[in-house]
Amino acid sequence: MMNWYTTFHNHTEAQRTLVLTDGERADIAEVVFGLRRWDPHEVHPDIDFIRCRSAAGHFPERVVQALDEFRSRPDRFEDGVLIIRNLPMEADPGPTPSRFDVPINRTTTVAENVIICLATLHGEPFVPSYEQGGRQPGLVAPVQGEEELPINGSSKGTFAFHIENAIDGDCSPDGISLLTIRPDQNGEAATTTASLYHALQLLSAPALAILRKPLFEVSKPDSFVGDIDPMIVPVLAGSDRYPTLRYRAYGFRPLTDLAAEALHELDVALISVKREDRSVRGDYILVNNKICVHGRTSFRAYWDERQASNRYLLRVYSTLNWSAVRDCCYPNTHMLVPTQLVRGALGRLVA
């Protein structure tokens, strides 16, 4: 039996990347193909996470071990990132959708089942209800007219560093899964990441102390639909040994001069430890959202006949604390409602 730890911990790049053999790829295709046949006429918007989880248990051992270790021993992944390459998906995934033109109710694809299966090996998958109508998994594709906004539909503009769902600490995901179906046409787009584990070493003691205080206002990201009040939060939480990070390069306001200085230090530190991963078709990236910011470089998207070949990814969240996140979802779904709405007006929203 191959032990994934000994295979992958020899040098930095290998530490983060698992390249599947074609045999392993075929094994996953077979499991996922079986999953599709079980329910070929799926019309319910919830992909069946329970079936995905039991199918994922039959994925190659190296994959199961890698995700399990990412979950249980995050300190071994100082970059906060695990990459798995050479995953199977349909030979022809169809044209790249603009985010809103794909119906929610229809049969799931190989790629969709692959990403949900992988996410179940990390934790419990879920999605925000307030983006793309709660589509599971969500789409990441450039959107015309949103080229320069700080959202994942952007292209020409850099998508700056962020913790996913930073406004919603209780229900922010532990993992962000991204599966590339189609890279951008010029090979320009890279997913950027920066780990707190690396950045911490560059921060001064006064900045660290300030970042632990609730001196920062986080407002809702532009992709959220609905009204959510800004919140006052600390940037760093958790123990000194295992600190966690809550930060966004946009929509995040320091409330004092000292807070502004500390945030600037953090910003500089994160940028100086930034990594860029240019994914190709079949690449999966799992980001530890508690210690690692992520974003994306700028790239060219097209709105003519080349639109069908624009960049195209799938995305799903995962949590290690489903009992907390479940409380932030619509009842009996894996669709997140912003915490403030859950606590305020969930009854009205569901009715």
Ligand X SMILES: O=C(O)CCC(=O)C(=O)O
Question: Which residue's CB is nearer to ligand X, number 181 or number 313?
Answer: 313
Whole-angstrom distance between the N-terminal and C-terminal Cα of the chain? 53
> Contacting ligand X (CB under 6 A), which of 65, 96, 132, 152?
152
Distances (CA, A) of 168 to 174, 212, 321, 326: 12, 17, 14, 13
> Contacting ligand X (CB under 6 A), which of 315, 334, 339, 342?
315
Question: Which residue's CB is nearer to ligand X, number 159 or number 247?
Answer: 159
Residue 230 CB neighbours (<10 A): 14
Q: Contact between 191 and ligand X (CB under 6 A)?
A: yes
Binding-site partner at residue 174 among ligand X, Fe ion, none, CB < 5 to 8 Å by type? none
**Alpha carbon distance 99, 91 (integer Å):** 21
Binding positions for ligand X, 156-175, rule CB under 6 A: 159, 164
Question: Which residue's CB is nearer to ligand X, number 203 or number 314?
Answer: 314
Residue 346 CB neighbours (<10 A): 16
8 Å CB contact between 190 and 313? no
> Contacting ligand X (CB under 6 A), which of 35, 52, 140, 292?
140
8 Å CB contact between 191 and 274? no
**Alpha carbon distance 246, 236 (integer Å):** 6
Q: Contact between 136 and ligand X (CB under 6 A)?
A: no
Residues 6+ away with beta carbon under 8 Å from 39: 48, 51
Binding-site partner at residue 191 among Fe ion, ligand X, none, CB < 5 to 8 Å by type? ligand X
Tokens of 120: 């179940």
How much of the chain is in helix, strand and coil states, percent to nearest 5?
Answer: 35, 20, 45
Binding positions for ligand X, 258-297, rule CB under 6 A: 294, 296
CB of 92 to Fe ion, least distance (A): 27
- Interaction pattern, residues 31-70, with ligand X; x per rule: CB under 6 A: ----------------------------------------
Using CB under 6 A as the binding criterion, the count of chain residues that bind ligand X stands at 10
**Contacts to Fe ion by CB under 5 A:** 164
* CB-count exposure of residue 228 (10 Å: 0-12, 13-18, 19+): middle
Q: Contact between 154 and ligand X (CB under 6 A)?
A: no
Question: Which residue's CB is nearer to ligand X, number 152 or number 244?
Answer: 152
CB of 192 to ligand X, least distance (A): 8
Q: Which residues bind ligand X (CB under 6 A)?
A: 140, 152, 159, 164, 178, 191, 294, 296, 313, 315
